Amino acid sequence: MRRAIFPGSFDPLTNGHLDIIKRSSPLFDEIIVAVLNNADKRPMFTVEERCAMIREILPTVDTDGCTLIVDSFSGLTADFAKRSGATAIVRGIRAVSDYEYELRMALMNRRLEPTIETVFLMAGEEFSYVSSTLMKQVFELGGRVAGLIPELVEARMREKKI
């Protein structure tokens, strides 16, 4: 069983996240979309709301037979990966600045859990500038985010704004 985790805040889930999930699915038998509960951030959605939205959206993603699971965690990503029985951590890279950050995290995760590899996937061109933070900022200022986040997520963002 080739199991990976794809960790992130997913606040909100973007089409870039879905692209990484879809493109990494041929590499693994199972991917756990691992929603990070980070108390230091001011999330738009609770962990439970994020998990529920992701569970609702994932069946629409063509995964080439890979099983997708949604879970949440706090603490170290390497610890969660080990507890989950994962052999890999999937991360998306949008730009050089992402690479520098992700390289440091991958090296620390390797030090913490040497048996778990980090797999980097380059963002698709159409999503190379999309981040959850940017989507929240644009949305809160009245900009259009259609096509950059799933329709369900945009609808839930509108509900939150009211």
C-alpha gyration radius of the chain: 15
**136 is known as an active-site residue:** no
**94 is known as an active-site residue:** yes
> Which residue is listed with tokens 């390497």?
78
- Give the contacts of 62 (CB within 8 A, at least 6 positions apart): 22, 25
- Structure-token pair, residue 21: 């999930």
What average pLDDT does the chain have? 94
From the list 17, 50, 91, 156, the catalytic residue is 17
CATH of the domain at 74: 3.40.50.620
Helix H or strand E encompassing 108: helix 96-112
Does residue 86 register a pLDDT over 60? Answer: yes
Q: Can you tell me the distance from the alpha carbon of 94 to that of 87, in angstroms, rounded to the nearest whole number? A: 23
Does residue 87 register a pLDDT over 80? Answer: yes
Q: Across residues 35-56, what is the average pLDDT? A: 92
How does residue 41 score in pLDDT terms, banded at 50, 70 and 90? confident
Q: What is the pLDDT of residue 72?
A: 97
Does residue 162 register a pLDDT over 70? Answer: no
Number of folded domains that form the chain: 1
Task: List the domain range (segments joined by +) for residue 50.
Answer: 3-161
**91 is known as an active-site residue:** no
From the list 24, 132, 136, 156, the catalytic residue is 132
Q: What is the pLDDT of residue 47?
A: 96
Q: Can you tell me the distance from the alpha carbon of 99 to that of 31, in angstroms, rounded to the nearest whole number? A: 22
How does residue 81 score in pLDDT terms, banded at 50, 70 and 90? very high
pTM value? 0.94
From the list 94, 110, 128, 131, the catalytic residue is 94
